[in-house]
Structure 1
Amino acid sequence: MHFKKLIGSLLLSLLAYSYVGAQSSLIKTDSLHSTTLNQQRFIQVILPENYKAALAQKYDVIYVLDGDGNTPLVSQIAQFIHHEGFMPPAIIVGINNIDRNKDLTPTHEEDHPTSGGAKDFLTFIKKELIPYIAKTYPANSNHLLWGHSFGGLFVTYALLNEPELFSGYIAADPSYWWGNRQMMGMAIKTLPELHPSLKRLYISGRQGQGMNEMGITRMDSILQRYAPAQIQAKTVAYEGETHGTIRLKSIYDGLRYVYEGYHDKAPVFHPMNGILLTGKPIRLWNFDDTTKVRYTTDGTTPSQTSSLIHKVLTISQPTTVITRAFTANPTYDKLTTGVFKAGNALLPGKRDKNLTPGGFHYHYYEGQWNHLPDFDTLQAVKEGRADKDFKLAKLPRRTNFGLVLSGQIEIKVAGYYIFALESDDGSRLSLGGQLLIGNDSLPEGKGRTYIVPLQKGFYSFKLDYYQKAGDSSLDLEYVTPDQMNTRNLRSNPIPLELVYGH
């Protein structure tokens, strides 16, 4: 059987990403009539590159001001960050301009005759555009607003006037100089009166004189003094950038800040579940970034005041461990639960004299299943021995097949053992007649681990597996008592000389 390391490097692997691939998403031009603005407004919409209508998944929406020129760039960077696992897939909605001087400025200035239409433009976004997107596209209720220059000015205006409309606000080199810096006075007056849910505001500027000329330095001081705790603002000055080039870094860093702490997978500890002997503590290993992960051992959901988890956590009594990875947006906090119950060592059975070491016996089945079937009720198409030469690739089918491995394993040293099982699609592991791990239906290969106390002797073994579609994957390894005393936990294949089958 083909094995690979499950604990550690396997679970921490990153997705490969091609920047060219990010451009595969098509831009759809759409429009809606605005009664507020008395205009037909055109928008650019980019759905997530792997969007499938049949999945009925809902997505965050990033609204991009000056959409004519900024939409593709925001889309490509957002897709890159998503592929690296640091933000969810998102719909990009670029709002094309008709008169940006009018729409993006909050006050009227004589040298810009049409200026001062930000109030109406914000009303259009709130009452017409966002509802239209929600009705027409698979959008959830989590919205972000990105803008550059006048767009950045409008982003801040939107935060001050409609703080609940967006969860994240990104202002790239915003024009706070507008209207003799009237935005400063607006911020000083409005910020202390705001009591929004948690929001994040990212502001970027050009290091040096550019920060002062745009009014960013002063606005940063105002935010630090007057902003409520629920508005978490961050200002960054970039060296060597122009008013135009600053957009690139601002998109990337702004999205990373708004989604800070986001991971596409929940934090994982190993073992994930198991049986605990009285007076025999066990250790849990954490291989992920734990800087923002907190935990409890009383079954309650962790809060920001709960203890930070350690790389190695000792459990001395039966408990339920819950970890929570905190993010800038609580919507994306992720929980992991492990149940460690009191029990005794599993009892071994007698050695089956009809079995010989060197590999399990296997039964091969064919069929189409969405969940693990009851293989005992099915007729095997083929059977044989899963020895050193056995590989899934040698089976007649690549998809729509099932496999049952059975026999005994020999335990030569009594103590705790961690079994690690990873499969694509579903699998189920039983030892000594007791179910240890059950991955009934998993469209993507995911690992599970279980700690169990064993005695010396022979244990009946059964592993059920089915593959529906995609690449087949089945990997079983374990950690022995002596390996748990090492500093770095590693799983290894069960030696074939300890594996018995027909």
Structure 2
Amino acid sequence: MRIIMNNRSRLFLAIALIFSLFGRTYAQDMPGKRDSINSAILNEKRVIQVVLPEKYKPGSTDKYDVLYILDDWNIKLGYDIQRFIENEHSMPPTIIIGVLNTDRDKDFLPTHSNGNKTSGSADKFLKFFKDELIPYIDKTYPAGGDNTLFGHSFGGVFVTYALLNEPHLFTNYIAGDPSYWWDNGIMLKQVKEKLPSLANKGKTLYIGGREGQGMKEMNINPMDSLLKKDAPAGFKWVVNAYPNESHGTVRLKNFYDGLRFANSDYGGKPIMFHPTSGIVLKDKPIKIWYFDDTTKVHYTLDGSQPSMTSPLVRPELELSGPATITFRKVTGRPKFDKTTTGEFKEGSYLAATPLRKNYKPGGFNYAYYEGEWDKLPDFKTLTPVKEGIADSTFSIDKLPRQNNFAVVIDGQFEIKQEGYYIFGMSSDDGSKVYLGDKLIIDLDGLHGDDVERSYIVPLKKGFYPLRIAYFQKDGGRKLELVYVTPDNIMKKKPTPIPYALQYGRR
């Protein structure tokens, strides 16, 4: 097949050459480790860059999605953007596989041009992915989720080619400023022919280009029109045109928006509702507050698993008796569904206790311990390193250690108004909260500060024993207990327990 080289073709070949030169300088800055595979299909050794999720621990059975990135110079950019999105809880931890170039014209382009002497072996490169690279990654690394493929320019052509010819290899396809002009728009012809076969396969395609002349030069506009006309059911796609971008700079937005689109059903943060458990008085209903998106979360009150036919959650739900409330975020991809449950039992007011002898207001007492734990220790077997009053000057950041320590805070607090109280805890790492001998909140174990629990309980006027157990292993530190009084429940206003109502030994 003869392809005429026009000025536009020469321009993009020049850009490709510049990118290849830049790629060599980027190699030393790449994250992760270098690996390689001897390809019988390509008859050459192919080098890959492998970045494992930050929290992956060798020996763990955890499995991860994989993001495959074409072109050396895209690897660091893709890594930075993926980590940013992950840290914002908008996509799961992901293995990154950067596929380094040997001859991008040969690998990425599906047809041959006399002006591009090596072009036209995309079929072999795709077979390399199918029969060698992906099986190697699945066998060697903790891969076990969805695969995503990113490519830019000629790489975007290959992304589209892979979608049409081996759609089962990847779940998500991201084509950045793809060169759909190649071979007189050969990809448009393939799309028209093969698009119907993508119906109801759960695939996504993201295409990003440059607004105006850029969309025209790359032949993206006709692709957009074709998708609008013929995209089948169950195939999610987007074409975006970005203003004021160059062929190179648009990669950043394509990476970010493409990954967000591919993971649009993912919600990394747990489903948040408060209170998360507690005691309900007969004939005195309580409110359950839900603070997030209500459009995809369904609920039941009998402990059964919610489905699409279950009621949608509302910002406030009323419970008038015992219930096992279950929330489920129902997405188009079951692996992204999230479920959480709260147990509410019918009961009575907790009895108040007399104020203990020598207890004075101004703060609870604390005992500080040192050691290495993955969960709360048995404090009865330990001797505290330091003891004191947890008054307004107390902070876990001021303790002798910032890692590998534990604290027990205990005392009595005064209730001046009868009614429902909600206690909330957020900690990093583990904690437990007791009212008297009753465990009301359990956040034990190693975790970050994005996990919260709360408990609603009816209290009468008087004094109640409170004990908080907390440990910190490493990383971030957080210990925050708040409560909501009866007169603040309607306002949904949590506050710390005032020091004037905290009593400890003196």
TM-score tier after normalising by the smaller chain length: 0.7 to 0.9
Equivalent position of 1:204 in the other structure: 208
* Contact 1:261–1:325 (CA under 8 A) maintained in structure 2: no
Q: Which residue in the other structure is 2:456 paired with?
A: 451
Change (3 A) 1:88 1:214: same
Q: CA deviation at 1:435?
A: 1.2
Alpha-carbon spacing, 1:249–1:407, altered in 2? closer, same or farther (3 Å): closer
Kindly indicate whether the alpha-carbon contact (under 8 Å) linking 1:346 and 1:432 is maintained by their aligned counterparts in 2. Answer: no
1:460 corresponding residue in structure 2: 465
SS state at 1:482 partner: helix
Please state how far the C-alpha of 1:145 moved relative to its aligned partner. 0.5
Q: Indicate the residue corresponding to 1:219 in structure 2.
A: 223
Q: 1:112, 1:253 → 2: CA distance?
A: 32
Is 1:416 the counterpart of 2:420 in the alignment?
Answer: yes
Which residue of the partner structure matches residue 349 of structure 2?
Answer: 345
Q: Distance in 1 between matches of 2:478 and 2:243?
A: 48
Partner in structure 2 of residue 497 of structure 1: 500
Q: Which residue identity lines up with residue 493 of structure 1 in the other structure?
A: P
Query: Cα–Cα, structure 1 residues 217 and 394, in superposed 2: closer, same or farther, change >3 Å?
Result: closer
The normalised TM-score by structure 1 is 0.85
User: Does the CA-based 8 Å contact 1:420-1:478 persist in structure 2?
Assistant: yes
Give the residue type in structure 2 aligned to 1:494: I
The alpha carbon displacement at 1:283 in A equals 1.7
Please give the alpha-carbon distance, in whole angstroms, between the structure 1 residues aligned to 2:406 and 2:141. Answer: 38
Separation of aligned partners in 1, 2:91 and 2:331: 10
**2:81 aligns with one of 50, 71, 77:** 77
C-alpha distance after superposition, 1:312-363 (max 9, x if no partner): 3333332233333456654233333222222222222334344333333334
Match of 2:274 in 1: 270
Cα separation, partners in 2 of 1:244 and 1:352, compared to 1, 3 Å: closer
Q: 1:225 to 1:424 in 2, by over 3 A?
A: same
Corresponding residue SS for 1:76: helix
Residues 1:26 and 2:9 are matched in the alignment: no
Partner residue in 1 for 2:336: 332
User: SS of the residue aligned with 2:168?
Assistant: coil
Whole-Å separation in 2 of the counterparts to 1:213 and 1:271: 56
Structure 1 residues 318 and 170: alpha-carbon distance in aligned structure 2, compared to 1, 3 A threshold: same
Counterpart for residue 35 of structure 1: 40
Shift of 1:254: 1.0
**Change beyond 3 A, Cα 1:499–1:90:** same
- Report what 2:481 is aligned to: 476
Q: 1:295 aligns with which of 293, 299, 302?
A: 299
Q: Distance in 1 between matches of 2:33 and 2:395?
A: 46
RMSD over aligned Cα, in angstroms? 2.8
What percent identity do the matched residue pairs reach?
A: 53
Among candidates 162, 177, 184, match of residue 181 of structure 2: 177
In 2, Cα distance between equivalents of 1:368 and 1:175:
56
Q: Matches of 2:369 and 2:55 in 1, distance apart?
A: 32
Structure 1 residues without counterparts, runs of 5 or longer: 1-22
Change (3 A) 1:255 1:137: same
Distance 1:69 1:403 in 2: 48
Q: Are the structure 2 counterparts of residues 109 and 392 from structure 1 closer, same or farther at C-alpha, using a change threshold of 3 Å? A: closer
Distance in 2 (CA, whole Å) between partners of 1:73 and 1:478 is 44
CA distance in 2, matches of 1:184, 1:389: 68
Match of 2:3? Answer: none
1:436, CA displacement in angstroms?
0.5
- How far does residue 305 in structure 1 lie from its aligned partner after superposition? 4.9
Residue 375 of structure 1: CA displacement? 2.1
The 3-state SS of whatever aligns with 2:288 is strand
What's 2:68 paired with?
A: 63
C-alpha contact (below 8 Å) 2:30/2:75 kept by paired residues: no
Residue matched to 2:288 = 284
Distance 1:90 1:401, change over 3 A: closer
Is 136-145 or 295-304 further displaced after alignment? Answer: 295-304
Q: Which residue identity lines up with residue 481 of structure 1 in the other structure?
A: P
**1:48-102 deviation digits (Å, cap 9, x = unpaired):** 456554666543321122x133222222222232333322333332223333333
**Residue 317 to residue 189, structure 1, CA distance change in 2 (3 Å):** farther
What is the alpha-carbon distance in structure 1 between the residues aligned to residue 385 and residue 252 of structure 2?
Answer: 57
SS at match of 2:254: helix
Q: Provide the residue aligned with 1:9 in structure 2.
A: none
Indicate the larger mover: 299-308 or 268-277: 299-308
Deviates more, 1:210-219 or 1:407-416: 210-219
DSSP 3-state at the match of 2:91: coil
Deviation at 1:382, TM superposition (A): 4.5
- The 3-state SS of whatever aligns with 1:321 is strand
- One of 419, 439, 460 as aligned partner of 1:435: 439
Give 3-state SS (helix, strand or coil) of 2:448's partner: coil
Matched residue count: 477
**How do 1:9-408 residues align onto structure 2 when only pairs under 5 Å count?**
26=31, 28-48=33-53, 52-53=57-58, 57-65=62-70, 67-109=71-113, 111-195=115-199, 197-325=201-329, 329-393=333-397, 395-408=399-412
- Answer whether contact 1:24 1:49 (CA < 8 A) is retained: no
**1:367 and 1:402 in contact (8 A); partners too:** yes
1:494 CA drift (Å): 1.3
Q: Does the CA contact (< 8 Å) of 1:181 and 1:215 recur in 2? A: yes
What residue identity is the alignment partner of 1:136? T
TM norm structure 2: 0.85
The answer (yes or no) to whether the contact 1:349–1:432 under 8 Å persists in 2 is no
CA distance in structure 2 between the aligned counterparts of 1:362 and 1:70, rounded to whole angstroms? 52
Q: Which amino acid aligns with 2:192?
A: I
**Match of 1:451, SS?**
strand
Highest RCO, 1 vs 2 (Cα 8 Å, sep ≥ 6): 1
Residue ranges of structure 2 left out of the alignment (5+ in a row): 1-27
Is the alpha carbon distance of 1:214 and 1:97 closer, same or farther for their aligned partners in structure 2, counting shifts above 3 Å? same
AA of the residue aligned to 1:301: Q
Q: Deviations over 1:286-324 (max 9, x none)?
A: 334445444333433344554443333333332233333
Shift of 1:216: 2.4
CA distance in 1, matches of 2:357, 2:198: 77
